Amino acid sequence: ASVPRQSDVPRVPPDTTRAEFNQAIGELQQILGVDNVAINDKPLVDGWYMEHPNTHDAFHIAPQEELVSSAVVYPGSVEEVQSIVRWANKHGIPVYPISMGRNIGYGGTAPRVPGSVVIDLGRRMNRILNIDAENASCLVEPGVSYFALYEEIQRRKLPLWIDTPDVGGGSVLGNAIDRGVGYTPYGDHFANHCGMEIVLPSGELLRTGMGALPGKDGADNPTWQSFQPAYGPYSDGIFSQSNFGIVVRMGMWLMPETNHQSYLITFPRDEDFPDIIEVIRPLAQRRLLGNIPQLRHVVQELAITGRPKSDFYKGSGPIPRDAIRQSAASLAIGDVSWIFYGTQYGDAASISTQLELIRDAFSKIHGAKMRLPKDLPADHCIHNRANICSGVPVLRDLDWLNWVPNAAHLFFSPIVPTRARDARAVHDIVARLHAKYGLDLLPTLCVAGREMHYIVNIVYDRSSVDEKRRSAALMREMIAETAAEGYGEYRTHILFQDMVAGTYNWGNNALMRFNETIKDALDPNGILAPGRNGIWPRRFRGKGWEI
């Protein structure tokens, strides 16, 4: 994959000379203060998760210089965000909003159009505006991380849980509008948001849901964080995974704390995985499973130890099944094949009944064995899962980044019916193409009652041009082959967004034409995150930007 770029004038916005850019940046410094506008003119440094750069995609899959900003700005208020947007319209400079930029594997802080000005909302707009203990909800700015929200709830000793993704350093707001997921019963983050405040590409301010109805004497509406759709078209959806507005405030529901019990079930045979899916489906549809469980291949158990792949296999190319088997035999989990990670919630008696029903359902699968955290050593990742599944943010899931040197990763995540034949069809495509490109297959399935997110983690050495090329080619071929069978991705890295958006082309691209109509109406100058999620404003469309 490669992005069109201006070879002679790097790191300036498209159609803008260095002189024009400097002049425009001078104006922006007047508005925001010199300290809050940083020009991207130093060598690029990849950093790590907690100290990530906001200059480029630290997990580059294209050459490092291809997905870069020209500058980063740090607004301190909603008014300043509005001023930045008006400035962008005046100069025709694309801006790219991020909350905290920790959606690693999807582009991080990088803009889709090189030379865009990144608006880092999170650095200064990081207030928890409200925690309503009675309503079990909060209202946050973009810079509130899962860690920060968790710590504030602990500080106030409130009996509430947050819901965190696998890694807790990201933005509560940013993850929800990118439709990320977590693992408590409140794990669907977008479904559990309630109310937004948005700066539109014109600079105008919008409140959605009940927030559109002013509260008494200028207060916020008292049900802004209580009822999602309010009256008329439900507009929140178009501000998720899109480039139609900058979300500056968002409400989230919080879960009342409860007892919980995490567990895992191991299965010895690779080939039983479609049957395991058949057992999960009715359990999930009946809502007997307490959360969205994960089904992981045992190779993930090796990776999550944080040890390098070379500890388990000295050869080159993908780790062979035999080497996985031998290494797994030396771990607490043993020589197994698939591992189901679940958590149940409620009072102790109800949890023990639930566990019995679940154990009984899985007993159909040869050799199935349930284990609780107390049955496993202290360094086993079940203890980490138990934290995540009870709303405690952690970083442990970064450990598989030790798998290869200079590791970066990409997710391939198609939505697949929770059904044996579909699971097998996707698995066969994915396994065959991983073998073709010589990369390790690291699958985790998040299984719900009707669909599952079949998530493949491609971990590659970002210092190797060849490994990057193979990883990108693998992504493209998996997207194309699975789409031909009717499976589509729920989210993807910015470099593959055109391609994924292009697979949703029913009715002569009716959906994209609809999105473009909205985009052109809201953003006639095409300044807000052009190309994000494959949506290009008129100014950029059909001019060679799509890849």
Check if 490 is active-site.
yes
Whether the CB-CB separation of 55 and 114 falls below 8 Å is answered with no
Whether the CB-CB separation of 350 and 260 falls below 8 Å is answered with no
What's at 373, amino acid-wise?
Answer: P
Whether the CB-CB separation of 479 and 456 falls below 8 Å is answered with no
Distance separating the N- and C-terminal Cα atoms of the chain: 7
382 burial via Cβ count (<10 Å: 0-12, 13-18, 19+)? buried
> Which is catalytic among the residues 11, 96, 102, 106?
106
> Which is catalytic among the residues 49, 419, 490, 504?
490
CA 519, CA 202: separation in Å to the nearest integer?
12
Q: Where do contacts with ligand ADP occur on this chain (CB under 6 A)?
A: 97-103, 107, 121, 142, 170-171, 173-175, 177-178, 246-247, 529, 532
Q: What kind and span of H or E run contains 417? A: strand 414-417
CA distances from 206 to 198, 232, 246, 517 (A): 5, 15, 10, 19
> Which is catalytic among the residues 102, 385, 491, 539?
491
CA 82, CA 198: separation in Å to the nearest integer?
10
471 Cβ neighbours under 8 A, 6+ residues apart: 61, 410, 437, 439, 458, 460
What's at 6, amino acid-wise?
Answer: Q
Q: Which residue is nearest to ligand ADP (CB)?
A: 174
Q: How many CB atoms lie within 10 A of CB 490?
A: 17
Give the residue from 413, 439, 440 showing the smallest Cα distance to 426.
Answer: 413
CA 227, CA 324: separation in Å to the nearest integer?
49
Check if 491 is active-site.
yes
DSSP string, 506-523: HHHHHHHHHHHHHHHHH-
CA distances from 35 to 26, 29, 75, 100, 137 (A): 12, 8, 11, 18, 34
CA 502, CA 480: separation in Å to the nearest integer?
10
Whether the CB-CB separation of 527 and 88 falls below 8 Å is answered with yes
1/121 with CB nearer ligand ADP: 121
Catalytic residues: 106, 490-491
